[in-house]
């Protein structure tokens, strides 16, 4: 049996467990999932092997997406932050492949946001330098695939939006440009910036909604949720990253009275 939540302040909840076995989340209880799963690019995580064969990686993705599908409400949404492609360890069309897996898991496709990470270089090799014999091409962008469970029109929740007109105009343009996050600041090897989940929440969920990040890492999604008054649950297999997330929520989140 799992113990109580690793962290619980009535608004933010951390589950220190494996996404494949946790029983803490009820079916049809989540309004929005925002997550960045492991990319399988040999990141040195404490408790996860990020160097599976591509077939095993696709199977891993299929299995965790199935769990997320169950947890979402019928009008729930899913913002999936993944790479466009990769060339480390062999070229793969990761964005296209994971979108296909999501659709096969019964998610409906809505749109794709391209995130231009100003300060991140994805280049690992040139292939053949200044020669057409075997050059490598890699785009300094990631994707946020926007999917939903059954109906795109959202009927559950408070109905209260907190997005400004300026933000709405800017963010519905599917090319987002802001910097990636520094590993040093978060104490995690592959964080995304708080700006990413914050935009997804304000664009795709109502104030007071329940947001889930099943690959919480250092808790960037939880920090964003506390800044815009959403409830948020994070699942993370590694205890050290859970501790890091608690410290970040206390430092960067907005504390509610009495917590
Ligand atoms: C790309 S990182 C997420 C980073 C996060 N967005 C942040 O800003 O810090 C993926 C996370 O998934 C966690 N993870 C990998 N396999 C897991 C599993 N089976 N269950 C729960 N967490 C897992 C890893 O430990 C890692 O922290």
| 10-residue averages of pLDDT along the chain (259 residues) | 82 98 97 97 93 96 98 98 89 97 97 88 81 91 97 98 98 96 89 97 98 98 98 98 97 71
Tokens of 251: 């430092």
Detail the DSSP E strand segments found in the chain: 7-8, 12-16, 30-35, 72-83, 108-116, 141-148, 175-177, 210-213, 231-236
* pLDDT value of position 49: 94
Q: Give pTM, 2 decimals.
A: 0.96
Give the pLDDT confidence of 9-19 residue by residue, as tens digits: 999 999 999 99
What per-residue confidence (pLDDT) applies to 182? 86
Tell which atom from ligand 1 comes closest to the C-alpha of 188: 9
Question: What's the pLDDT at 120?
Answer: 66
Task: Provide the pLDDT for residue 3.
Answer: 60
Q: What are phi and psi of 81, to 5 degrees?
A: -90, 115
Is beta strand 141-148 parallel, antiparallel or unpaired with respect to 175-177?
unpaired
Output the DSSP codes for 54-80: HHHHHHHHHHHHHHHHHHEEEEEEEEE
Say what the pLDDT of residue 1 is: 43
Output the ligand 1 site: residues, CB below 6 A.
Answer: 18-20, 36, 38, 45, 47-48, 186, 188, 190-192, 215, 217-218, 220, 235-238, 241
Q: Residue 4's pLDDT is what? A: 82
| In this structure, CATH architecture of domain 7-122+135-252 | 3-Layer(aba) Sandwich (3.40)
pLDDT reported for residue 256: 60
Residue closest to 192 by CA, chosen among 170, 224, 240: 224
Rounded to the nearest whole angstrom, what is the distance from the C-alpha of residue 40 to the centroid of ligand 1? 11
Instruction: Please report the pLDDT score of residue 123 as a whole number.
Output: 72
Domain boundaries, the chain: 7-122+135-252
Contact 13, 4 (CB under 8 A): no
Atom number in ligand 1 closest to CA 35:
6
Atom of ligand 1 nearest to the CA of 213: 6
């Amino acid at each position: 049996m799992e113990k109580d939540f690793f962290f619980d302040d009535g608004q933010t909840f951390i589950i220190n467990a494996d996404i494949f076995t946790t029983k803490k989340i009820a079916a049809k209880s989540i309004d929005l999932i925002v997550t960045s799963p492991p990319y399988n690019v040999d990141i040195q995580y404490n408790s996860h092997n990020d160097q599976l064969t591509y077939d095993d990686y696709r199977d891993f993705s299929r299995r965790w997406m199935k769990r997320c599908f169950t947890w979402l409400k019928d009008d729930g949404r899913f913002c999936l932050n993944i790479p466009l492609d990769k060339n480390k360890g062999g070229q793969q069309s990761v964005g296209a492949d994971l979108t296909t897996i999501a659709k096969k898991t019964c998610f409906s496709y809505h749109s794709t946001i391209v995130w231009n990470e100003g300060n991140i270089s994805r280049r690992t090799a040139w292939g053949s330098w200044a020669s057409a014999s075997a050059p490598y091409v890699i785009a300094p962008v990631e994707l946020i695939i926007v999917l939903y469970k059954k109906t795109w029109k959202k009927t559950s929740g408070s109905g209260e939006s907190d997005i400004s007109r300026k933000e709405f105009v800017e963010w519905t343009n599917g090319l987002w440009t802001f910097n990636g996050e520094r590993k040093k600041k978060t104490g995690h090897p592959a964080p995304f910036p708080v700006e990413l989940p914050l935009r997804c929440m304000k664009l795709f969920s109502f104030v007071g909604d329940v947001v889930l990040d099943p690959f919480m890492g250092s808790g960037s999604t939880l920090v964003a949720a506390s800044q815009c008054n959403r409830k948020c649950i994070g699942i993370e297999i590694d205890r050290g990253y859970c501790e890091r997330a608690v410290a970040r929520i206390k430092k960067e989140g907005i504390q509610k009275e009495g917590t």
